[in-house]
Chain A
Amino acid sequence: MSTVAVYVEQRSGIIKRPTFEALTAARSLSERVVALSIGACDAEMLGAYGATEVVVVEHPLLREYSSQAVAVALAQYLRSSDIRTLLVGGTAQGKELAPRIAVLVEAGYMPDCIELSSDGNAIVAVRPLYAGKVRAAVRPLTDRVVVALRPNMFTARTTESAAIPSVSTFSPTIEDRDRRVVLKEIIRNEGKLDVLEADIVVSGGRGMKGPEHFVLIEQLASALGGAVGASRAVVDAGWRPHSEQVGQTGKTVSPNLYIACGISGAVQHLAGMSSSKVIAAINKDKDAPIFKVADYGIVGDVFEVIPKLIEKIKAIKQAATS
């Protein structure tokens, strides 16, 4: 199909992984992949993942991030080009930005896509609905389309045929009124990996019996280099912060490995983690619904099983490094 553009999300010069996932997906759709970066970027790295061209969008009013101004700038670029398809990583930033661009270029917006293909000229995607209880095939009814990809559903792969992409500059027209919202500051949760960004998530539920026992979840997550997650029940009980909640009214995660400890697997929880690549569960109730969606499971007491798991995982990690 015709050219596909990809929005480059970067923070402090670091390009976010969902951008590479989108580039890889774009490569499967088109020979010509244009990466759109606000300000300078590592063009060579974008090329390694499949960008054939890089467009650096430059304007003094874009130095402080504003979703509004970035949307205006990217929409101007898209309107000035023959590009009909824009892919965006479905991150916090991407999900806020993409619908705005779609309105400005009169495109159909397809959020949270987990599969993409092209049927001749038009894009067809699959997306979950109702927290993953059903899936829908979607297609745009408009000439242009903006697609947001659920993170970690498309594998980012470098391409062997990568050439250094050509780099050009685009200067949009931006006014002060285009930046009536501006990002002022980012506060990082220091030393804490987020469930949305981690390759491994270890979650605890009511089976942990109390907030004091989450130290076990933290130790297991730390042994694996993963993030700590929690079920709604324990967040509602105040044992863990909402930022760790996985499920329909929390975060939807798709890590490489999800380990559910003492979580029975209510449908609302499954909604938030069922697109994980590998699911493991530890629960003392052999009939817990979580085992029906698990690849690997242990029926047993979390308080006895987790310490043994940590020990064995540490042994493997040690063997790998020695």
Chain B
Amino acid sequence: MNILVCISYVPDTAAKISTIADGSALQLDGVKYILNPYDEFAIEEALRQREKHGGTVVALTVGSESAKEILRTALAMGADRAAIVPSSSLDSFGVAVNIAAYARTMNADLVLMGRQSIDHDSFQMASTVAALLDLPSISVVSKLDISDSTVRAERDIEGGKEILEATLPIVISVQKGINEPRYPKLPDIMKAKSKPIEVVEIQTAPPRVEMFQFSVPQLKRLGKIFGDSDEEIAEFVRLLHEEAKVI
């Protein structure tokens, strides 16, 4: 089975993100980047599917030179090969075009990724890549079984789960809980450092959406904070009932 796992290099969850003074761009200087947390589950799932079905796992990222760091993580965890599309200026659609092109070249049977990148939180990549490849997709998958070319998956929805059936080739985005990602071992981390990383030619795609003004939201709230006396608790409940009208 040819498995492509798509991973992204994103600001740490605790990073402080702001905008430049006139709001025309984001201020990301000094921000620490990490492997997108959901992509760890995607890498692990790729390795587990390879263990079951044989084949090859290729890790791909679209990003700047420093994003090679997460490809080394994927190699240390056990990916066979790694590739980078060296661009940090594509919009989401452009990223999808490049992933789809690579999937086509390697004749991927299974394309895996995390359910969302925690930078833009769009949840769109699996569907977009699949549509470009004219393949089925299933998003936010918490259980995946593949036998022969039949795919059975569970995905999380509001208030429950869906059970879906599909056929290979397919694009799947995974959810936390699908597996327990392994920690790479030190010798494998060392070995991954010297493995080659394929540099893929960028497919240009005109952007389809433009972000043109950025702002930091005012999280300022009413801030009516009380103590824990009976009278104050009563006042807290009264305000929720009569002022906020939410209970």
Chain A residues near B (Cβ < 8 Å): 67-68, 71, 91-93, 95-100, 102-104, 107-112, 128-142, 180-189, 192-194, 196-197, 200, 224, 242-243, 248-249, 252, 256-257, 266-268, 270-271, 274, 277-280, 286, 291-301, 304-305, 308-309, 312-313, 316
Contact A295 B216 (CB under 8 A): no
Rounded to whole Å, the gap between the CB of A17 and the closest CB of chain B is 10
Contacts of B131 in A (CB 8 A): 71, 99-100, 102-104
The interface centre, meaning the residue of A100, A103, A188, A192 with most chain B CB atoms within 10 A of its CB, is A103
Contact B159 A67 (CB under 8 A): no
Of the candidate stretches B47-55, B114-122, B192-200, the one touching chain A is B114-122
The 30 listed contacts between A and B (C-beta, < 8 Å) are A68-B137, A96-B123, A96-B137, A96-B138, A97-B127, A99-B124, A100-B128, A108-B208, A109-B208, A109-B209, A130-B119, A130-B121, A133-B18, A134-B26, A134-B214, A135-B216, A136-B212, A136-B214, A137-B211, A140-B209, A184-B163, A257-B240, A257-B246, A268-B14, A274-B219, A277-B246, A297-B224, A297-B226, A298-B226, A298-B232
Rounded to whole Å, the gap between the CB of B45 and the closest CB of chain A is 16
Rounded to whole Å, the gap between the CB of B101 and the closest CB of chain A is 14
Of the candidate stretches B63-71, B79-87, B165-173, the one touching chain A is B165-173
Rounded to whole Å, the gap between the CB of A253 and the closest CB of chain B is 11
Q: Number of contacting residues on B, CB 8 A? A: 85
Contact A296 B236 (CB under 8 A): yes
Contacts of A299 in B (CB 8 A): 225-228
Chain B residues near A (Cβ < 8 Å): 11, 13-19, 26, 37-38, 92-93, 96, 118-128, 130-132, 135-140, 151, 155-167, 170, 175-177, 206-217, 219, 221-228, 230, 232-234, 236-237, 239-241, 244, 246-247
Give the residue of A68, A189, A291 whose beta carbon is less than 8 angstroms from that of B223: A291
Contacts of A67 in B (CB 8 A): 127, 136-137
For the complex, what is the distance from the CA of A316 to the CA of B26, rounded to whole Å? 47
Give the residue of A95, A189, A249, A279 whose beta carbon is less than 8 angstroms from that of B176: A249
Rounded to whole Å, the gap between the CB of B36 and the closest CB of chain A is 10
Give the residue of A140, A297, A308 whose beta carbon is less than 8 angstroms from that of B225: A297
Contact A92 B157 (CB under 8 A): yes
Contact B225 A312 (CB under 8 A): no
The interface centre, meaning the residue of B19, B160, B167, B215 with most chain A CB atoms within 10 A of its CB, is B160
Specify the chain B residue showing the minimal Cβ separation from A319.
B241
For the complex, what is the distance from the CA of A103 to the CA of B205, rounded to whole Å? 13
Give the residue of A92, A108, A181 whose beta carbon is less than 8 angstroms from that of B165: A181
How would you classify the secondary structure of chain B's contact residues: helix, strand, loop or mixed?
A: mixed
For the complex, what is the distance from the CA of A251 to the CA of B176, rounded to whole Å? 11
Contacts of A91 in B (CB 8 A): 157-158
Contact B212 A296 (CB under 8 A): no
Contact A131 B13 (CB under 8 A): yes
For the complex, what is the distance from the CA of A196 to the CA of B215, rounded to whole Å? 26
Contacts of B230 in A (CB 8 A): 308
Contact B219 A112 (CB under 8 A): no
Contact B139 A316 (CB under 8 A): no
For the complex, what is the distance from the CA of A91 to the CA of B240, rounded to whole Å? 28
Specify the chain B residue showing the minimal Cβ separation from A225.
B247
Contact B118 A248 (CB under 8 A): yes
Contacts of A104 in B (CB 8 A): 131
Contact B159 A189 (CB under 8 A): yes
Give the residue of A112, A128, A189, A305 whose beta carbon is less than 8 angstroms from that of B160: A189
Contact A99 B128 (CB under 8 A): yes
For the complex, what is the distance from the CA of A141 to the CA of B234, rounded to whole Å? 53
For the complex, what is the distance from the CA of A131 to the CA of B120, rounded to whole Å? 8
Contacts of B207 in A (CB 8 A): 141
For the complex, what is the distance from the CA of A79 to the CA of B165, rounded to whole Å? 29
Contacts of A92 in B (CB 8 A): 139-140, 155-158, 162
Contacts of A298 in B (CB 8 A): 225-228, 232-233, 236
Having A92-B156, A132-B217, one finds 20 other A-B pairs with CB under 8 Å, namely A100-B130, A135-B214, A136-B214, A137-B211, A138-B209, A138-B210, A142-B208, A180-B135, A181-B137, A186-B161, A187-B162, A248-B13, A257-B247, A274-B217, A295-B221, A296-B225, A296-B226, A298-B232, A298-B233, A305-B228
